Amino acid sequence: MQTGDHQPDGYLALPAHGKGKGVLVLHAWWGLNATIRGACDRLAGAGFVAFAPDLYHGKVTNRIDEAQVLGESLDARVDEARAEIASALDFLTSRSDGTGVAVMGFSLGGFYAVDVSARAPDRIDAVVLFYGTGPADLSRSRARYLGHFAEDDAYEPPAYAARLEDALRREGRPVVFHTYPGTKHWFVEPDRTDVYDAAAANLAWDRTIAFLRGDFATV
């Protein structure tokens, strides 16, 4: 068995033809829930191979207090989390068509998406962020970046996105960040019925699919 052939804990979604560009999907602090599996299915329907590693290993919640505890526990073992993401990247690469790998992060997963793009610059060619950012040394990154951010976000203030966008531009990385008027954190997650915004979510997804297909000019 070659390295990367064994599937780590997580959810794999394949396109109808079985192969495609790989997209590594990193879940929010809720865990690997139906929303993240649905995102993988949506990517597969658009022709991508999507894999979401289960960084909580079976633990899922829809309560903010429990999610905060799970997220803090993950961050406390950041080196282990990074190793698991690297293993997931190996597996995804073995299943994709060799045209490159993108990473997509939701909220908490956004931090790890930025992180892996900086730590594995020769393996990540595109990054999609849904209301999540993170500090990293981006000097070696080779990726292009697309970000979707809420206008009224108590968890990811606009200053965070602006700081990351400035850092990426200083390093010469292609970057487009969008802010969606009237939205709040988790606005693309249909199970968060108090903040889900269908129109904004659909626009963000349309832009994401175009971006992943290489159509950077129209996103």
pLDDT in tens, 77-88: 999 999 999 999
Distance in angstroms (rounded) separating the CA atoms of residues 169 and 193 = 35
Percent of the chain with pLDDT over 90: 91
The domain that holds 141 is classified in CATH as: 3.40.50.1820
Residue 2 pLDDT class (50, 70, 90 cuts)? very low
pTM: 0.95
- Could you list the residue range(s) of the whole structural domain that residue 136 is in? 10-218
Q: Which tokens sit at 73?
A: 């526990």
Q: Residue 6's pLDDT is what?
A: 83
> pLDDT for 157-170, tens place per residue?
999 999 999 999 99
What total number of domains does the chain contain?
Answer: 1
Closest CA to 212 of 167, 181, 168, 176: 176
The sign one gets for the Cα dihedral 193, 115, 164, 169 is negative
How many Å separate Cα 25 from the centre of its chain?
5
61 occurs within a structural domain: yes
Specify the pLDDT at position 215. 80
Judge whether 2 lies within some domain: no
Position 3 in a domain: no
The CA–CA distances, whole Å, from 183 to 26, 204, 206 equal 21, 12, 17
| 45 within domain boundaries | yes
Residue 21 per-residue DSSP state: -
pLDDT of 207 over the 80 cut: yes
Q: Is residue 5 part of a domain?
A: no
What would the two tokens of residue 72 be?
A: 């803090």
